[in-house]
Amino acid sequence: MDINLISAQIKEELDKIVSCDQLEALRLKYLGRKGVIAELTGSIPAVNPQERGAFGKAVNALKQQLFVSLEEKQRSLGVSKAPAPESAETDLGMPGIAQELGHKHPITGIIDQVCGIFSQMGFKVLEGPEIETEHNNFTGLNIPLEHPSRDAFDTFYLKDYEKLLLRSHTSPMQVRAMAKSKPPLAIVVPGRVYRPDAVDASHLFMFHQIEGLMVDQGVKFSDLKGVLEVFVKAVFGKDVAMRFRPHFFPFTEPSVEVDISCIICKGKGCSVCGRKGWLEILGAGLVHPNVFQQAGYDAKKFSGFAFGMGVERIAMLKYGINDIRLFFENDLRFLKQF
Amino acid sequence: MIVTYNWLQDFVDIRLSPEQLADKLTLAGLEVVSCKHIGGDVVFEIEITSNRPDWLSVYGVAREVAAITGEKLKLGDRCSVLGTRAKHPAPSTKNLITIQDKKDCPYYSYRIIRNLQIKPSAADIARRLELANLRSVNCVVDLTNYLLFETGQPMHAFDLDKLSLEQGIIVRRATQKEKLVTIDGIERQLNPDILVIADNLKPLAIAGVMGGKDTEVTSATKNILLETAVFDSILVRRMRQKLALQSEAAYRFERGVDLAATPRVSLECASLIAKCSNGKLAEFKESGSKKIADRYVTLETDLVNRALGIQITAKECKSILTALGFTVKNKSASLQVKIPSFRQDVKKEVDLIEEVARIYGFDRILSSLPKISPQQASVLDLTAYLKEILFALGLNETITYSLIDKASLTKLKINLTPVEIRNPLSKEQEILRPTILTGLLNCVAHNLNQKQNQISLFEIAKIFHADDRANPVEQPVLGIALCGERTLLLDQGVVKDVFGLLHMKGILETVFSRLGIKGFAITPLTVSKDEFIIQAGAQELGRVFLPADAQLDAFEIKNKKVFLAQLDLTKLFSLAQMEKKFLPAAKYPQITRDMSFIVKDDLAVSRILEAISALGQPLENVKIVDYYRGKQIPKGFRALTISCIYRSNQRTLTEEDVSSIQEKAVRLLVDSFGVKMR
């Protein structure tokens, strides 16, 4: 057989090829188990010894050339195709083999992300008890026990334990942190909180909050704005706008609620933001002097800010989850998406 | 709180569109939650924070609108659609008011209007009440409601002819036996915690909350007694909660009404009622003090700037505060601010700073970043590390409720004293869980129901114990649940890997090893076949549980095995040894010898491994490398392959070095354990 002739023939046939199937047919004709190249290779021992070496080399060169041509042709056809199983060692169409990893709960994911952002800014992450005293949950935070401001903090009380309750917010950790250490102080506190709320798609009797507190000399409202801006841009993206609405919390003065421009409709107004174009994401303010006084801090010398956010709320906005109960159902089809 | 655009215009000229006004109000702290155009007017629904009772009136909101927009607040009755108001005769002495405790009721007054004709209200009044979601009743009742919305002062009109006023009006606590049917038609059982308005025979009204049905104004009423009073806010709050009875009046008393404005509003209301019903103003009586001490707070402009991070002048501060109704005197940068009676919420300098900030605009405060001093670094977060290990082991993180029902403990036959909740809303919130297992079992049940067949879950959370009668204990734990099987599609085909006790062991073993905890063991509990102790040396760190079918059935898990574990994280982390010390790789090569044999099923492999390990140097390690039970092996037996690894740390071992000890090992197996070598 004349190798040059075969080579020319291949070139001619290759030029006519317009589809992957044709290319595969050509590949089988020449490179298949009973293909032309195999036949040539099989004929090597029959060649006389003087010419055998040269012939072998030529066959090999032809084979290499063929590989290159096929690959070029395949690229020019613009489609890559997994090699057919009978000719390859592994069928790459089969599922890959790997150790399946477990999934982090989306609430943990948000807590890790948010606390990570504040950690980078120098805040320390702390955790606190879920069973609290009336003092830490209310009076230490300037919330009178009998006042309409308590309505926002309906609380589970423990039976058999006088004045103990399930914390209704993470703010009691402000009281604990200030009792434990002197300023400067910069902390974030994630954790579970409890309120006897009727259960529906947006309310549950247990949820998560992240509390933040910073106390030092000369801390001012513009600092709170700056720190929250870093947080919002890191979690929701650089293009998100922010606004501060005056609000009332007994433990901060001035107090604000912070809105971000709706991440769904970009501020145009949709069902998620109630046509307002804004989404409320957290409450904040400068620490009330009465809170400092209770903590034994000199309110003339120190100032500070505090903020608190609902983790489920942030997760729902970020991931487009419309029912808070999904977080606690722990359906694997839900968990495995995070 | 509901106000309308036209109603506000009675008191302030508004040059903004309703939508622009809504935005301005929201950014000043009066969050407009809806803004609806209804028949020529615009209805704003505003969320008022509990510290601002002065905003619970059209007049109060108008004052804010004036401050925001720089308009003048229109004062006086001429501005109102209600028209001008009459003068009332001076207080008479004829009837009495007896206030049992001035703390409950600091001020009480009434005005009597005689010979009136009950008529429907004028159309514009009825219309505005309707927009505020109030039903128009008649001109008397409507005017009390109208002025409640306009001024924030609740008032109540009694049918005078149904009262026995021989001893006048008595403001007192109810007795245990008294009852009162309120205007809503419900009979209320009273008690000494309830303050009532009474005549000499009976309670007439629940003070500050709701009037009585018997004495309400009807179309037949000829003479009325119009009550205007101030009641203690905490008392009203308690009554409202005890009676589970909310009303517009209680809502305002609970937050505090402006005592200074009360007499004026009372006169306005009485004269308007007289006018619309052709009645005649008769006796007026008041008791208690309407005097409020003047209060002053000093505001340093410098502090405003330091607290907010802005540059504002004393003049600007003054003009903001003046617009809001404060009276301000200033010498240089220090402002002497007189607090108006309707601003009981303003007590400190910071409260004034907030007022300045609100009107100045938080959006105008530029962001800055604080200098944060480096804190003492937190110790390595072992919980996060533990979670990473568990994820790598294929376990999915769950979060389940800390509050559960008592019955779920019974279901699992758990006999622990839980911490109970005094005020649960449902039985699912009866107790704080003393175990993490019930939550995990619920997750397993849910996922089985969703046809999931590979369920491997964990939760890290607190459980709670009531063992200590003085203080309940919070204990962080790790819970693990395994159920179903892993399907591995390997090169050699499908392998179904059914979860069993050894999977749980493998997970725990890995956790212990990664945390550097020595002496891991898992041993059956002698009293129960379904429970195992997880130990580090002699210390118990937790348990593994195999719930019985009946227990699983109670959680609606049928025909499945579930493997559970609960570990005490405080103990686990206290043993963690995260410091690493590098050991160089062995210098000399190892020699490996495998032994395959058949052994009785009931012989624990750990005994064999221990016995061989005891042979000592140069034996470095013994491990099981293969295991088989099936066709070629007689029943009651299993085939094992054990690998012995020999190594010296002084030289390269030879075949001869190994063969004698290997022979010993074989003899040991045959003689001591009766194995049959293969």
Secondary structure, 3-state, B60-77: HHHHHHHHHHCCCECCCH
User: Are A129 and A61 in the same domain?
Assistant: no
Please tell me the predicted confidence (pLDDT) of residue B291. Answer: 79
Considering the domain B382-575, what is its CATH architecture? 2-Layer Sandwich (3.30)
Same structural domain for residues A312 and A212?
yes
Tell me the range of A13-27, A163-177, B626-640 where mean pLDDT is highest.
Answer: A163-177
Q: Is the pLDDT of residue A26 over 50?
A: yes
Please judge whether B354 and A255 are an interchain contact, meaning their C-beta atoms are less than 8 angstroms apart.
yes
B41-47 vs B31-38, strand pairing mode: antiparallel
What does the DSSP 8-state code read for residue A151?
A: G
CA distance between the termini of chain A: 62
Q: What is the mean pLDDT of chain B?
A: 92
pLDDT band at A70 (very low <50, low <70, confident <90, very high): confident
Q: Do B362 and A157 touch (CB under 8 A)?
A: no
Query: In degrees rounded to 5, what are phi and psi of residue B327?
Result: -105, 120
B422 vs A104, A122, A157: nearest CB: A157
Q: What is the pLDDT of residues B548-587, one digit of tens each?
A: 999 999 999 999 999 999 999 999 999 999 999 999 888 8
Domain range for residue A68?
3-77
- Cα–Cα distance between A118 and A331 in angstroms, integer? 30
Compute the half-sphere exposure of residue A187: CA atoms within 13 Å on the CB side of its CA. Answer: 25
Closest by CA to B404, choosing from A127, A155, A108, A194, is A194
Is the backbone peptide bond immediately before A85 cis, with ω within 30 degrees of 0? no
Contact in structure between B170 and B199 (CB atoms under 8 Å): yes
How close, in Å, is residue B475 to chain A by CA atoms? 10
Consecutive H or E run containing A244: strand A242-249
Do the chains contact at B425 and A196, CB–CB below 8 Å?
Answer: yes
List, for residues A148-200, the tens digit of each pLDDT value. 777 777 899 999 898 899 999 999 999 999 999 999 999 999 999 999 988 99
Interface touch B350/A254, C-beta < 8 Å: yes
Q: How far is A190 from chain B (nearest CA, A)?
A: 13
Q: What is the mean pLDDT of residues B513-523?
A: 95
Q: Do A231 and A286 belong together in one domain?
A: yes
Checking if the pLDDT of A1 tops 80, the result is no
Q: How many CB atoms lie within 10 A of CB B593?
A: 17
Q: How many Cβ pairs closer than 8 A exist between chain A and B?
A: 240
Domain B97-288 fold is Phenylalanyl-tRNA Synthetase; Chain B, domain 3 (3.50.40)
By DSSP bridging, strand A206-216 and strand A303-310 are antiparallel
Task: Tell me which chain A residues have a C-beta less than 8 angstroms from the C-beta of B402.
Answer: 130, 192, 194, 206
Question: Bigger pLDDT: A261 or A67?
Answer: A261
Residue of B nearest to A243 (CA): B363
Tokens linked to A228: 């929250």
What contacts A76, CB < 8 A, 6 or more positions away?
A: none
> Residue A64 is encoded by which pair of tokens?
């290499």
Confidence (pLDDT) at B78? 47
Mean pLDDT over B141-150 rounds to: 94
Q: Closest by alpha carbon to A145, among B335, B368, B234?
A: B234
Tell me what pLDDT residue B331 has: 79
pLDDT-based confidence at residue A80 (cuts at 50, 70, 90): low
Report chain A residues whose CB lies below 8 A from the CB of B486: 100
B519: nearest Cα among B533, B538, B505, B496: B538
Statement: residue B204 has pLDDT above 70: yes
Per-residue model confidence as pLDDT tens digits over B282-294? 888 988 887 788 9
Integer Cα distance of A119 and A114 in angstroms = 9
Q: Which of B61, B56, B63, B68 has the alpha carbon at shortest distance from B16?
A: B68
Q: Is the residue at A90 inside a domain?
A: no
Does the pLDDT of residue A81 top 70, yes or no? no
Please tell me the predicted confidence (pLDDT) of residue A87: 55
A330–B457 CB contact, under 8 Å: yes
Cβ of B604: how many Cβ atoms within 10 Å?
Answer: 8
Tell me the pLDDT band of A84, cut-offs 50, 70 and 90. low
Q: Do B425 and A112 touch (CB under 8 A)?
A: no
Q: Is residue A168 part of a domain?
A: yes
Query: Given a cut of 60, is residue B322 above it in pLDDT?
Result: yes
- Shared domain check, A114 and A73: no
B111 DSSP β-pair partners: B226, B284
Rounded-to-integer distance, Cα A181 and Cα A213, Å: 13
- Residues in A closer than 8 angstroms to B491, CB to CB, are 97
User: Residues of A numbered 156-185 whose beta carbons fall under 8 angstroms of chain B's beta carbons: which are they?
Assistant: 156-161, 164, 166, 184
CATH architecture of the region B2-75? 2-Layer Sandwich (3.30)
- Percent of chain B whose predicted confidence (pLDDT) is above 70: 96
When pLDDT is averaged across residues B590-618 and rounded to a whole number, the result is 91
A129 and A23 in a common domain: no
Q: Among B156, B143, B347, B344, which Cα is nearest to B258's?
A: B344
φ, ψ at A209 (rounded to 5°): -130, 160
Q: How many CB atoms lie within 10 A of CB B634?
A: 9
Q: What token pair was written down for B446?
A: 């849910």
Q: Does the domain spanning B591-677 belong to CATH 3.30.1330.10?
A: no
Structure tokens at B270: 């009485």
Instruction: Sort out which chain A residues have CB atoms less than 8 A from B445's CB and list them.
Output: none
pLDDT at B547 over 50: yes
Same domain, A64 and A110: no
Token pair for A246? 């005056």
What CATH number did the domain enclosing A216 receive? 3.30.930.10
Q: Please tell me whether residues A204 and A63 are part of one structural domain.
A: no
Whether the per-residue pLDDT at B85 is higher than 70: the answer is no
Q: What's the rounded mean pLDDT across residues A91-101?
A: 87
Quote ipTM for the complex: 0.89
Whole-angstrom distance, CA of residue A119 vs CA of residue B158:
64
Helix H or strand E segment including B296: strand B295-300
Report CA dihedral (B363, B369, B370, B372) to the nearest 10 degrees.
140
Q: Tens digit of pLDDT for each residue in B26-66?
A: 999 999 999 999 989 999 999 999 999 999 999 999 999 99
Q: Of A18 and A324, which is predicted with more confidence?
A: A324
Please name the member of A101, A122, A330 whose beta carbon is closest to the beta carbon of B391.
Answer: A101
Phi, psi of A101 (to 5 degrees): -85, 150
* Residues A110-159 pLDDT 10s: 999 999 999 999 999 999 999 999 999 999 999 988 887 777 778 999 99
Burial of residue B283, with CB atoms counted within 10 A of its CB: 0-12 exposed, 13-18 middle, 19 or more buried: middle
pLDDT at A55: 84
Q: Would the pLDDT of B333 be above 80?
A: yes
- The minimum CA-CA distance between A43 and chain B, rounded to whole Å, is 35
- How far is the CA of B390 from the CAs of A270, B296, B374, in angstroms? 40, 62, 32
Let me know if residue A96 belongs to a domain: no
Q: b or e along A4-39 (b: 16 or more beta carbons within 10 Å of the residue's beta carbon)? A: eebbeebeeebeebeeeeebbebbeebbbeebbbee
Q: Given pLDDT bands bounded at 50, 70 and 90, which one contains residue B79?
A: very low
- Provide the terminal-to-terminal Cα distance of chain B, rounded to the nearest Å: 89
Q: Hey, do B2-75 and B382-575 end up sharing a CATH topology, with the first three levels equal?
A: no
Q: Output the six-digit token pair for A59.
A: 């066959």
Instruction: Give the residue extent of every domain in chain B.
Output: 2-75, 97-288, 295-363, 382-575, 591-677
Which residue type is seen at A121? M
Q: Are residues A110 and A207 in the same domain?
A: yes
β-pairing verdict for B169-173 and B97-99:
parallel
The pTM for the full model equals: 0.86
Total number of domains in chain A: 2
A211-226 pLDDT per residue, tens: 999 999 999 999 999 9
Q: Are A60 and A14 members of one domain? A: yes
Residue B414: per-residue pLDDT: 86
Distance CA A170, CA B619 (A): 57
Q: Can you read off the two tokens belonging to residue B598?
A: 């058949």
The arithmetic mean of pLDDT across residues B332-355, rounded, is 94
Q: What pLDDT band is residue A8 in, cutting at 50, 70 and 90?
A: confident
Dihedral through CA A243, CA A248, CA A254, CA A259, nearest 10?
Answer: -10
What is the architecture of the domain spanning B295-363?
Answer: 2-Layer Sandwich (3.30)
- Nearest-5° angle of CA A69, CA A75, CA A81? 100
Q: Are A148 and B254 a contacting pair at CB < 8 A?
A: yes
pLDDT of residue B93: 61
Quote the tokens at residue B640: 């094992």
| The pLDDT of residue B378 | 61
Residue A47, domain member (yes or no): yes
Give the pLDDT score at B25.
Answer: 96
